[in-house]
Each structure stands twice: as C-alpha cells, then as structure tokens.
Structure 1
C-alpha cells in the first residue's frame, strides 16, 4: 500500500512541477484547446517587413521563429519544421529574397521531421504524435535582448503521456538542438519509446527553384544522400541509384546522415546511445527520397521520464565550421575526385582572402604562386621548344631521306633526340601539371559556399558563375593565341596548314569557357599572361645572353 502511495505521490509532484513551470501554456491550451494567434501580423511592432512577408507566405497556424540565421516555420501538427529561409544568403544574384532551403509545395518537397516512435502490438514502429497538434505560448519567437540561446518548447498530452519537444537555437550557429522529453504519467503501464529523425526530398528539383546562374556548369554537382559511421568514413548515393535500389538499412552507434546539394545541406547528427541506431534510405511516394534514423527503444516506468537529444544542421556547407561539429561532416562539400587538392587550394585561397578581402584578387595571387612553383617545369618546356626549333632542318632532311620507310624514319628521329639529349614530351609536363590544378580549382569554385555570389571588380559580381558579358573568355582567347604564336617553331610558321590550325584551335577551345565560372576563367587569363612573360624572358636569355641550352 505504501509503495502505491509513493508512486502516486511521485506522479502528483511531477505533474505539479510541469504545471508550475508551464502554467501559461497549459492555461491557454485547456481554455481554448487550440493555439490562438497571439500576434497581429499587420500591426505587431516586433515583426519587421521581411518577417511579415515570410509569415504571410506560410500557414496561419504555423509557428514562426526568427534568429540571426533563420526564418523557420513549424507546423504545430506534428511539431515539425516545414520551411526554412537562410538570412545570410539570397535566392539569386541581386535578389533581395532570402534563400529557401526547406519547403513543402505541391511540386517539390524538402523537409526534416522528427518525433517519438513506439512499437504497436504487431511489432511495427509507429510515429506516436504524427498528426497530433502541439501547443506553445505564442506563434512567434525570437531572441530576447542580450540572450544567445532561444528555447522553444512544444507540448502535447496523449494517453497519460506528456511529450515536450524543445527546439534550441544558438546565435551565430546553423546547428539546432532538439530535446525530446517523454513523461509517463500513467500509474500502471510502462512504455517503450524511441525517437526518429528523417530528411525527405523530391528526387527532381523543378527549374524555378534552381539558381539559373549555377545551373549552366559543364560538370554537375552531386545531388543525393550521404552518411558517415564509425565503420564507414563517408559514403554517398545519387538519387537515381536509390530510385532503382531497394531499401538500404544498417545499424550504427554514432555518425550522421545528410541530404546533399550544391552549397547547402541538411544533416541529422545521430544520438550516441548505449544501443545502436537504425539508419534507413529508401524511396517513398511520388519519387521522394528519404534518409533517416531510429533510436533504440527505452523503457519508461510509471512516474518516470526519459530525455532524448538530437542535433540538426540546416544551412550552408562551411568547411571550417562543419569539421568541428562531428568527424567527417566537412566531406559533404563535394570537391570531386581531386578533393584533397581542392581542399588544399581552398585553404590557401581562404588564407589569402583573409588578408586582401577580395576573392578575385585572391585567385590572381594563388595563380602567381602556382606559376612560381612550377617555373622550373615551364623553363624546361620553353628550352625544349627552342631545341626542337633548331633541329627542324635536320628532322626535315631525315623525313626526305626515309620518306618511304616509316619504321626507319621513326628510329632516326628518336636517335637524333637522344644525341641532342632532348625529350620531346617535356613540353607536355607543365600542361599535365596544370590540368589537375585546373579541375581542382573548378570544383572548388562551384562547391565552396564562400565563393557563391562573390564579387570581383566592375561587371564580375559572381566568381562562381559565368561572365554575363563574356569579356573574360574573349580576353582568354587572345592570350591563348599569343601563347600559340610564341610556341610555334620556325617550321610551323612556314607550314600553312599547321599555322592555320594553330590559330583556329584556341578560338574553338575558348567556347568551352563561355559558361564556366568567371573565377576559373580569371585564373586561366592570369596563368596565360604569366606564361607569355615567362616565354619572353627565357627566350630573351637564350637568344641575347648566350644562355646554354642543355
């Protein structure tokens, strides 16, 4: 009897404590049994113009949250985030509309959801509060003056189970903490409860939601899902693979799951429990891809409670910040197969930017650094060109002498090169070195959020997209023609067909640069200008100062 009284007393004290701490919320809920609008959108002085626009664009009952990083709309039915705008980024260049990352429209869905799950009698996991309407003290929240933390609790009571879902925001951070508190107010039955976190996204993004300036690149960025576990450092799947593949499922103690796209991502950081989480990847209705996790189940005895805490990143893929949150999260930045080189270049570029405060000037400086480091190879290339130029008369004689014997012709030319200690392929080495740098820089420019909408000078307002007037590609074509002219041997200049081909190819090649990021074209222009200067300097040494060719 005493034990029953003790249990009853514990439940009573617990329930009284909850009521005492949240009496305003519970009063509003019990009085109206619904969330009433406590803010007049048109007249409220706490909302600025952009807040009002965002609020009018969402459902009437939704709860609006404004931080220094987000506009967030939470649907009280289920207590899930329905729409997110990022206040540090705009939809398009010169646009005043904030970038919308998460949304729920008839033609496109990108959402994160979380909640409580329990086993039914058939052993199937069910979302316990899926369609339940939560209540809060207001339908608008923002940071209070001189406060860096914003906590927003959502409440619901069902079948003697109190569920408090609290969203915790920190100033200056895109990381959102979600605390799930489950109170078993039943005096008889224990309950087995777990939590889940899920990200859903349409496999095809309609054109109207894409930034057209970033949709013309030759090599497409990765769209799909990714995850990291203790056993698997990083793994990703493209949407088409998931659409064809059956459900993917595995267990892990720690790690993260993510939905990837260019520049931005949403990530669930898996809770660290004594038992393993279950991760799943699957296609749900209407070609929507879903990646999520389910925690292990915990038994909550009558009168007791249990806390589950999960973390959610919604925002830009910032390399320095993400690498500190959880291991390997920075790998969500897709730098392609030359990722190690792209990261190295970005770190150097970012260091230079911290000094000069202009990404375009930083690209110019990093180009100069690369050309200084590769100068010995360039020098060898120009010397090779000069030696080939000097050997052309002898090569021409060999061609005339062995015109009818191709095999002998090749052998004699090879012997000539050996006698002169000449490697004709040495001229390709600088090009071979430049190609990985070129590709790594390309991936860095189209994948680094820091370079999105980054201004340079005059008409170049976005180094990550193409030159709107194609001035840089034209300048690059001219520099390529100059390089080709100086690289020609005397024999080439006397050969009409060879000479014509030399001038046509750079022009054709330049067409590929019309739609490449202007930052990449800028790199190539500076690279070509340095090449011209180096050519002239080395040739001057050779021709006017008895520079020894060896």
Structure 2
C-alpha cells in the first residue's frame, strides 16, 4: 500500500512542479514590437534623407576620419546581409540593431526583430572609462568620412569614428562587419597626446529593457567567467545593487528566450563583468552588463589598443559556434542540458531530411518511445498484473476496513502469492521524467521552433495552439480554442482508464482529476511541447493495449 502511495506522490509532485512553473513564474514581458518598428522606420528614413550619396563602404581599408565636418545629428546605417545596424555620431555608439532573418511576430509584415528595446536617444552598446579619466567622453561627438549608409556585401567592411578630447587624448573606434555571421569586431585605440599619463579601465556596455522572468529558461544578464556560466536575475540586482564577477572573462551579455547580445575580448583575459539593473516603465527593468578590460596605464605619446567581438544574433547552436569565443555556452538548458543538447541535435538532424519541425518532434517522440520500450513494457506489465488483482484487493479492503494494519498485511500477502511488485512500475516512470523535463526545456527554448509552422492552425510551434483566435474563451490567453491541447487531454483520460485504479478512494479521485489539471496547465504552453505529449500518449495507449491483451 505504501508503494502505491509513493507512486501517487511522485505523480503529484510532477503535477505540482508543472503547476508552479505555469502559475507562479511570470510570463516574459517585452516592449510592444510596434514601437520598435516605428523607431526603426523613422531612423532609417532620416538616414536616407540625410545621405547625399548612398554608396557601399569599401572592404576593410583605411577610412580617414579627421576631415569630416562635425554634425551632431548624423547617423550611420549599416546594411549587412543578416542585420541592419544604426550608429550615432554622438559617442560613436550603436543605437539599434535589427535581424533580417527574424521578425517580431509571426506576421510576414511585422517589423524585423530588434536585438534590444530602448527608447529613442538611448544606445544599446557604448564604451567608457570606468574611472572617468576623460570626462568629456560621455558627450563626445565623433567624426567619420564614411557615408551615411553603408552596405556590407561579400567582404568585411569597416566604419571608423574618431574624437580627440580637449586635453589631447585621441579615441578611434573601428567597427568591422562580416557578411557571413552576426559578429561585429570592435577595436578601440586610445592615443595619449596629453601632458599626463592616463590610467583607467575601458569598458564596453550592453543594455536593454527586459521583462519579468520566464518559465522557459533564464532571461537577463549573464557572463562566461573562468569557464563557468554566471547568470544573475534582474530582480536580485535591483534589490542588492550591482554585482561584479572577476576572472578570465570569455564574454558578457544579455539573453532572452531566443537571442543573445554579448561582448567578448578577442582573447580571454583577466577582467571583470559588472551586472546592474534598475526599474523601468511598467513591469520592465533596465538591465545592463559591462565587460571591463584590465586597468591600463597609457604614458604620454603612447597608444593602447582594445579588441572586442560583439555578437548580436540568434541562440542557434551552429550560429553561435561559428561565431567562436565560446558564445555557444549561452545556449543553456539548466540542469537538463546533458539530455537536452543531444535531443536538440537529433531535432536538427531529423529536420534536414523532413523540413517540418512538427514532424521532427513526432519522430523524436517515436525514437524516445522505442528507447524506453523495454522499461515501459515492464511498467505496463506490472499494471496489467495489478489490474487482475483489483477484485481481490477490493475484497480485502472491504473485509478489513476497520483494521488498517491487517488490511496492509493481507494486501502484501496477496502480492507475494501472485509475485506482483507494485514498485516495478515505478522505476520506468522515474527514468522518463528527466527526459520529459529536458524536452520541455529544449522545445521551449530552441529558436528552431520560433515561428515554425506545423500543420493547419498550428502555425507557430513555440506558441500555444489556437483555432478561431477571434473567439474569446475563459482562462485562455491568447484567445481561441486550444484544439491540440484538448485532444491531448482526451488521450490522457483514455490512458488513465486503461490503468488499474488506486485502492484508496482519495487517490482515485486525484488520479481522475489529472487529465483535467494537465490540460489546464498545457493550454498556454508551446504547441511543440503539447504535440510531443500528445504523440507520446497515443504511443503509450497503443503499447499499453498490446501489453494488456498479451497478459489478459
């Protein structure tokens, strides 16, 4: 009897975990994409009007900067095959970057995906001296001979901006763009032509508005320091103040569910990462991460060069690995990574032959089911044997209903007589739970499923499935009918009817409620995960039916 309760407790804990993730972890909040699109359109339009000649910048060659007149409002728009970047003459900062291969929503006419969300006038990437040894740097107006609109074609291209402080400290920022990836090289040269040495630490900062924590994985500031991935929650930073991680820094950045913005020294070196956050409008927070180079002393007439790599793009395994710098470590599935990574590889491998991620998920489910077939057989065999003993167990409970101790003794004696071990069905369930959670994390965080269609009304495997989205259904957000989820609930009910009922009436009622609870939980989960659970249920029903027929 205790074993049966133990199994019920495991199932209950499983449900409670799902319920906690669904009800108590807030959904991520991001600024409306329309606002980002408006800002992008205005900026691009202004840049085109301001440009007298829209020409492509030449491949990485010397681009002089001193002869250009100072125009504080000047903006440089860089058109690369994979992204559009907008730089400001004020501070030589990166103001905005949008990805051409991704959109804000599933609508084909929606705006391109903005890598960070900030109001007009703010910059998403900036450099500064930590100790303020050149105080005018924050308001500096950089100059450049580059045209207002630059096009990156088949060769790397560069945008060079320069500025000299009143004391004679010269800064040169060289951004190099590569047509084949999402990496931007940032080389900063500081030449000290003042009368005194300059001693300071140059930092590169990335910042953005970010929403509340997601139940699909970590979102916020992170860094790879000393080979370990450091993740810091924005809420903790707002409560306790900025946090610093020191050591050999590979990269520092901000991540959301699908995308990464990060800065890395060209070579991993001793440095530090500073995380900070402050309240923003509504439920947003302004999150910042700075990579701080080691402090350097620049003598008079000496030059110090700082080399960095900026990555702003999707968290795709191949794309991150191609960028180098261990950026691929940002694709983390938590404690389930050791299972989730092979599953993601299997998903991509399957997609190469059948270019539909929905079908790929179904095939992965089938493969997992085949791998666990022997264990599942043992579990279902145990269930079939238990089901045959149900009438005898009911007689024992009725006979000894006033003597719990004697009732348990008789039940265990019944198990021994028929050589049935109720715990034999428990181990297969325990072994499959980690795989489920790994799949949950993988399917919820894999960018491959973002806006990926399956069939019919399921046009985005990363979003909940909805049919007739104009129909408002209570407790369902977004609106519509969750057909796939309802079918999944029916399969759970059928599977449960095929299993032997628990002896305890309270446990029986709890198990009867499970399909309803699971359906309610899965309503707002990604349809890719619902599809996996549905297919798994159908395969389990078939396997269970076969076992019961065999041992009936």
The TM-score, its normalising length taken from structure 2, stands at: 0.77
Alignment of structure 1 residues 277-426 onto 2, 5 Å:
277-283=271-277, 288-323=286-321, 325=323, 329-426=327-424
Give me the whole-angstrom Cα distance separating, in 1, the residues matched to 2:512 and 2:273: 57
Q: CA deviation at 1:309?
A: 0.8
The answer as to 2:278 corresponding to 1:241 is no
Classify the secondary structure of the residue corresponding to 2:453: coil
**Aligned residue among 454, 457, 460 for 1:456:** 454
Q: CA deviation at 1:343?
A: 1.5
Q: Is the 8 A contact 2:250 2:268 kept in 1?
A: no
| Distance change in 2, residues 1:142/1:419 (3 Å) | farther
Q: CA deviation at 1:477?
A: 2.1
What is aligned with 2:99? 86
**Aligned residue among 518, 529, 532 for 1:509:** 518
**Aligned residue among 532, 544, 547 for 2:541:** 532
Q: CA deviation at 1:165?
A: 0.6
**Aligned residue among 242, 247, 252 for 1:252:** 247
Q: Deviations over 1:313-339 (max 9, x none)?
A: 112112233246556533323423322
Q: Is the 8 A contact 1:359 1:454 kept in 2?
A: yes
Give me the whole-angstrom Cα distance separating, in 1, the residues matched to 2:130 and 2:551: 82
What is aligned with 2:160? 153
Q: Is the 8 A contact 1:254 1:271 kept in 2?
A: no
Classify the secondary structure of the residue corresponding to 1:380: helix
Q: CA deviation at 1:406?
A: 0.8
Classify the secondary structure of the residue corresponding to 2:365: helix
Structure 2 spans left out of the alignment, 5+ residues: 1-60, 468-481
What is aligned with 1:104? 118
Q: Is the 8 A contact 1:149 1:170 kept in 2?
A: yes
Give me the whole-angstrom Cα distance separating, in 2, the residues matched to 1:434 and 1:332: 26
Give me the whole-angstrom Cα distance separating, in 1, the residues matched to 2:519 and 2:157: 53
| Distance change in 2, residues 1:93/1:109 (3 Å) | farther
Give me the whole-angstrom Cα distance separating, in 2, the residues matched to 1:27 and 1:396: 95
Q: Deviations over 1:29-85 (max 9, x none)?
A: 3xxx437xxxxxxxxxxxxxxxxxxxxxxxx52211111121111111100111111
Q: CA deviation at 1:141?
A: 3.8
Classify the secondary structure of the residue corresponding to 2:343: helix
| Distance change in 2, residues 1:341/1:497 (3 Å) | closer
The answer as to 2:221 corresponding to 1:225 is yes
Classify the secondary structure of the residue corresponding to 2:495: helix
Alignment of structure 1 residues 263-282 onto 2, 5 Å:
263-270=258-265, 272=267, 276-282=270-276
What is aligned with 1:41? none
Give the number of the structure whose alpha-carbon radius of gyration is greater.
Answer: 1
What is aligned with 1:27? 67
Q: CA deviation at 1:267?
A: 0.9
Give me the whole-angstrom Cα distance separating, in 1, the residues matched to 2:101 and 2:394: 65
Q: Is the 8 A contact 1:70 1:86 kept in 2?
A: yes
| Distance change in 2, residues 1:516/1:196 (3 Å) | same
What is aligned with 1:484? 496
| Distance change in 2, residues 1:245/1:126 (3 Å) | farther
What is aligned with 2:140? 132
Give me the whole-angstrom Cα distance separating, in 2, the residues matched to 1:27 and 1:70: 29
Q: CA deviation at 1:496?
A: 11
Q: Is the 8 A contact 1:349 1:363 kept in 2?
A: yes
Classify the secondary structure of the residue corresponding to 1:384: helix
What is aligned with 1:16? none
| Distance change in 2, residues 1:505/1:241 (3 Å) | closer
| Distance change in 2, residues 1:165/1:402 (3 Å) | same
Classify the secondary structure of the residue corresponding to 1:487: coil
What is aligned with 2:14? none
Q: CA deviation at 1:446?
A: 1.9
**Moved runs in structure 1, 4+ residues, more than 6 A?**
495-502
Give me the whole-angstrom Cα distance separating, in 2, the residues matched to 1:540 and 1:255: 58
Q: CA deviation at 1:128?
A: 5.1
Structure 1 spans left out of the alignment, 5+ residues: 1-19, 36-59, 206-214, 544-550
| Distance change in 2, residues 1:299/1:364 (3 Å) | same
Classify the secondary structure of the residue corresponding to 1:65: strand
What is aligned with 2:475? none
